[in-house]
């Protein structure tokens, strides 16, 4: 997301407006512009309110520099790779916060696990992650799902609870 480019940029590289959704159609990877790896990767990602606020604040700082929202503060140009960020700024931020190193891919897993633990719908999480279908998400993050439903099984048990006191009656 560091070199994130909007999907609605024009040929003149006018910055795309920031809204509640982002459609990743390309990313700057290892010094080259690339499309998402899979068809499912081209999706609409719903941006949370905090993400929208951060992106708008960052866009206000970099709007005149082109379509990319995040730029190398030392050069003012788009990032060529994430190597310098990982090796410097990101590690400093984590040290100050008392956290251990996590790369972007681990943060992706953290997002999915926390979303599922918080009770988000697995279909929504799968769509956000760009998974082809929800079963991929379920296989990868199944350990987080039971913690969100402490009363699992109680709803179906209610269906088979006899209505009368006579438990010898069979429906």
Mean pLDDT for 48-55 is 90
Q: Is residue 84 part of a domain?
A: yes
* Cα-Cα end-to-end distance for the chain: 57
Same domain as 109, residue 42: no
Q: Count how many domains the chain has.
A: 2
* Residue 160, Ramachandran bin (φ over 0: left; ψ between -120 and 50: alpha; else beta): alpha
Same domain as 112, residue 61: no
Task: Map residue 22 onto helix, strand or coil.
Answer: strand
Question: Is residue 12's pLDDT more than 50?
Answer: no
Same domain as 121, residue 86: no
Q: Which residues pair with 46 in a beta bridge?
A: 21
Q: Is residue 37 part of a domain?
A: yes
How high is the pLDDT of residue 96?
A: 92
Q: Is residue 155 part of a domain?
A: no
Same domain as 96, residue 129: no
Same domain as 16, residue 71: yes
Same domain as 117, residue 95: no
Q: Is residue 113 part of a domain?
A: yes
Q: Is residue 160 part of a domain?
A: no
> CA neighbours within 13 Å on the CB side: how many for 106?
5
Element (H, E) at 28: strand 27-29
Contact 28/78 with Cβ under 8 angstroms?
yes
Same domain as 95, residue 55: yes
pLDDT digits (tens, 9 = 90+) for 58-80: 888 887 777 788 888 888 887 77
Tell me which residue range forms the domain holding 140: 102-150
How high is the pLDDT of residue 124?
A: 94
Q: Is residue 170 part of a domain?
A: no
Same domain as 84, residue 10: yes
Same domain as 84, residue 117: no
pLDDT digits (tens, 9 = 90+) for 146-166: 665 677 778 778 888 877 555
């Amino acid at each position: 997301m560091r070199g994130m480019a909007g999907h609605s940029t024009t040929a003149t590289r006018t910055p795309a407006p920031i809204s509640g959704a982002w459609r990743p159609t390309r990313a700057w990877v290892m010094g080259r512009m690339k499309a998402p790896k899979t068809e499912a990767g081209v999706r609409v990602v719903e941006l949370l309110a905090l993400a929208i606020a951060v992106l708008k604040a960052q866009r206000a700082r970099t709007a005149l520099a082109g379509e990319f929202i995040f730029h190398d503060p030392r050069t003012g140009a788009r990032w060529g790779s994430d190597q310098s960020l990982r090796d410097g700024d990101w590690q400093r931020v984590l040290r100050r916060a008392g956290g251990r190193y996590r790369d972007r891919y681990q943060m992706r897993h953290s997002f999915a696990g926390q979303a599922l633990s918080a009770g988000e719908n697995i279909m929504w999480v799968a769509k956000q992650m760009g998974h082809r279908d929800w079963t991929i998400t379920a296989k990868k993050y199944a350990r987080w799902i039971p913690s969100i439903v402490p009363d699992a099984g109680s709803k179906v048990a209610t269906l088979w609870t006899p209505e009368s006191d006579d438990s010898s009656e069979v429906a």
